[in-house]
Chain A
Amino acid sequence: MSLVDAVRIALRAIAANRLRSALTALGLIIGVSSVIVLIAVGQGAQKGVTERIRGLGTNLIFVRPGTAQGTAQTQGARGAAMTLVASDADAIEQAGIPGIAGVSSQINFPAQAITSAQNVNTTVIGTTANYVDVRGVSLSSGSFISPTDVSTRGLAIVLGAAVAPQLFPEEEPLGQTVRLSLGGGRVTFQFRVVGVMAPRGGSSGGLEDSYVYVPVSSVQNRIAFVRNPTGQVNVSQIDIKTAPKADQALIKDQVTALLMQRHNVAEPDFRVLSQDDLLGAASAVSLTLSILLGSVAGISLIVGGIGVMNIMLVSVAERIREIGIRRAVGAQANDIVKQFVTEALTLCLVGGLIGTGVGVGAAVLLGGRAVAGQTMTTVIQPWSIGIAFAVAAGVGLISGSYPAYRATAVDPITALRNE
């Protein structure tokens, strides 16, 4: 039997049982499309995280309190001692380490920003004038915190691009007064708006747009619960901007040596991370997510495959007589195998093709749409289509072969007597 004949016979058999064929293919359509969609979502999440980290600026090294064990976040959650101080940042800047283009420090804490009419929960970034240069941000109006604001502990505030319209839906924010309420309302300060940040856009996830910025000194010296007992200014992060093509590993080593000497410790009580380090950690997380999503999709593909095998087995049982007739008119065992494998394969490939269409369509539709407050990013991976298709074909081969093998075991005489 030629391949053309095998395909023709398969298509006839599929067409003869339209509903059953459609339901069988549906299992595979769901399987294949969910593989493509879930991998696209997983990859999209990975891309989102990567862009967010890249969006922090370029050529950055971060110094955070905490030891090598555990991340800065978990250390912070456990209330680890704040070991970094503002003068560490000054020391790094003045140490003359080659390749360092700028240093800024920051401390973050949650607060409520209040105007006469509005009330917004935000994150306050206490920082220095260098922040603009180091992080590569820009303002849409006004100016950033000046060195004078920092040295005089001035009560100047710069609003993130998303915060400004929330606090001042109608008025021009510059020159207005904003009250920051900290520690659940225990402390309240009045700040004067000096600038509004330009939007950072979707690549940074809009997170930075919801921050407000104040001079690090102004909050430090007024808030008892974050004040350092030694009179120093605590910071939660020091950002170091390196020159393009500078050796980040070397700079990390030099910064580490400098801070260990300043802190007089044998083991670092801080961590120095480059953007690549953060990317590595983040992609490990999103890889886990991708694997998880992929496994779920894979299971549905396997279930779809079992459905095909089930139908093919039923089909063999139902068509024993047909097999007997074909055997009697000269079909060899491998002709029968070819017929059933082709049928299963055709069903699977058609299902795979439709599934690919559905999956790609769904991924495209999902991309850029807000789901549960998060903007979905989907990245359709050609390899996910390849894998889904290969699995569909593999399922077709396996789920056709076993029933086909069963079919050849049918004794032609018995089959012909089977009325």
Chain B
Amino acid sequence: MTESRRENRVMVELIKVGRFYPPDIEALTEVSLSVSRGEMLFLTGKSGAGKTTLLRLLCKIELPDKGLVEIDGMDLGKLSRHKIQQLRRRIGMAYQDFKLLPERTVARNIALAMEVTYQKKSFIRRQTKTLLDRLGLKSKVHARTADLSRGEQQRVSIARALANNPDLILADEPTGNLDAESTCRVMELFDEHRRRGATILIATHDSSIYADTDYRVLELKDGRIVDTKENHGTTGEQE
């Protein structure tokens, strides 16, 4: 494989990335990581290990204090405001705190992600319905998200992250509040998107979701990558 082809296959690249919080917290130290297009990667580690910080760096919610962060070959530090907006439309992020609008309905929360990419109304309706069906929330379409349980809110947040069929999916503890059945539904959806070609990074404590898989697992400890479980069979290969 030539160098340029190899580069084109890389979706996420972090080189010696450092992120510090005052007064002296090292959230990430010298983190280097490369994730191929169509790969599903699990980030594990205890609370405070730096998983969420790493995901936040990838959609430029935060900036690194050191090192380089590249998405699809673009250095995030050098992107203009307009390019950042365009990039974020290609990223679907499911936040740990869900970031839902509590007074809006489930449908509105999901539609919002598609409206900012100017999707047709018919597509928005169809996609919302499909995702809610798949996540077992069909009956909640017109419910206010404030009235939902934590597990349901989490699934709405995941549905919104997947709504635009993004190239990069970042999920922060996506199954933290889910029962086994819902977890299974979510992982099936993620896997479908991976097969479609999406790159997926999942930060999780839940070892059950990656224990019996071939996907790569990175363990973070005190802001450093300390362990990697590699499986070359599924890293970046689209089916």
A, B assembled together: no
Interface residues of B (CB under 8 A from A): none
